Chain A
Amino acid sequence: MVVGVALAGWAGAAYARGWLAQSHARAEWEARLAHAAVQRARSYGSPASESLVEGAPVARLVVPKIALDDIVLEGVTGEVLNGGPGHLPGSALPGDTGNAVVSAHRDRHFRRLGELSIGDTVVTETEARRTRWRVVGRTVVHKDAPVIRRETGRVLTLTTCWPIGYLGGAPERLILKAVPADTQLAAAQD
């Protein structure tokens, strides 16, 4: 029983830390937005993805269909993903040219990501811009499959473990690909 209480307590504490980290990130994100507005007014550029610190809030991710509204943090380490969806370092920021990769745990922030299908809407908001995306691809691949690709256009890739609602290791990954809503669908499905 002592072991059980210790295990449950440790896991519960980790969940609580994640919740606190997301709350803290949201407050910090709002402060950064205000700061960015001042910077733009002084005609400074937006921060580059390379200079972001791990764990720092980089964007806001909103998916109306699954009632997701979370702050995306920089990095995809276990500690970062415990606090919120993680932006893969080195990938483009959501809305910038290139492939912006955002990943999250299937038991927390992306627990309903499997409900998304082609045509659904995703909204991202960075310090520089707000982008409305449309899901154009949904695939389940082996966990070792090379799915992260360099893109010439603006692409948003959302990843999580698959199957969702499965305990233990994750043999597969759910990959959702989205393009800006104003992009032609035929051009997006290259």
Chain B
Amino acid sequence: MNRRLLIALSALSLLAASSAEAQFTTVVAPPKKAVDQAAVQEQQRVARAEADSSHRATMQEMSAWVDSVAGAPALGSVVADSAAGAVVMDSATASRVSEPATTRFQDGARAPNTASPLPLLLLAGIGATLLGLGVILTSRRAVPAPVRRRRAP
């Protein structure tokens, strides 16, 4: 009897699942809060001030100083700038930002990259070759010569 009751309850719950789900998952939206105009205006004012270079000047220096201590590059680009209207990057920060090598003349460009890895590679190659030769010679000397046995008379 209990088994039949259990099967019946299971079948009932399966059949009623969709309607039950609808019942339990319905969300009653709370009434909208009244918009706090003062808070919104304050938020917009802070955002504008943060994007303004004249406001950020001291913060930029502070940020560059912290980054220089931490050894991380700092980007100082400013958008929507009311004072300059262009990308502003202090010289100390600009010198640390990795840029592509100069391949064409441009006023204010850095000197072309003339560093070459060839001397280092050549030296490393010669060193590795000499090391390898040394290992080979040493291992040959370490092998004992075969001992010849005299035949008994």
Contact = CB atoms under 8 A, between A and B. Distances in A.
| A and B bind | yes
Interface string B112-153: 111110111111111111111101100000000000000000
Most chain B beta carbons < 10 A, residue from A7, A78, A142, A169: A7
Interface stretch (A40-48, A101-109, A116-124, A130-138): A101-109
A91 to B, nearest CB: 4
Given A144-B94, A148-B107, A148-B111, A4 B130 contact: yes
B95 A145 contact: yes
A144 B99 contact: yes
Contacts of B105: 88-91, 99, 101, 148
B114 A145 contact: no
B26 interface: no
A3 B121 contact: no
Given A90-B105, A148-B110, A149-B108, A11 B121 contact: yes
Contacts of A4: 124-132
Contacts of A147: 110-111
User: What size tier do the contact residues of chain B reach?
Assistant: 35 or more
Contacts, number: 139
B109 interface: yes
A50 to B, nearest CB: 10
Interface residues of A, number: 53
B102 interface: yes
B96 interface: yes
A105 B114 contact: yes
B121 A159 contact: no
B114 A7 contact: no
Given A2-B132, A4-B131, A88-B102, A9 B125 contact: yes
Interface string B72-83: 000000000000
A55 interface: no
B104 interface: yes
15 contacts: A4-B130, A4-B131, A5-B125, A5-B132, A7-B124, A11-B122, A76-B103, A76-B113, A144-B94, A147-B111, A150-B107, A159-B111, A160-B114, A173-B114, A175-B111
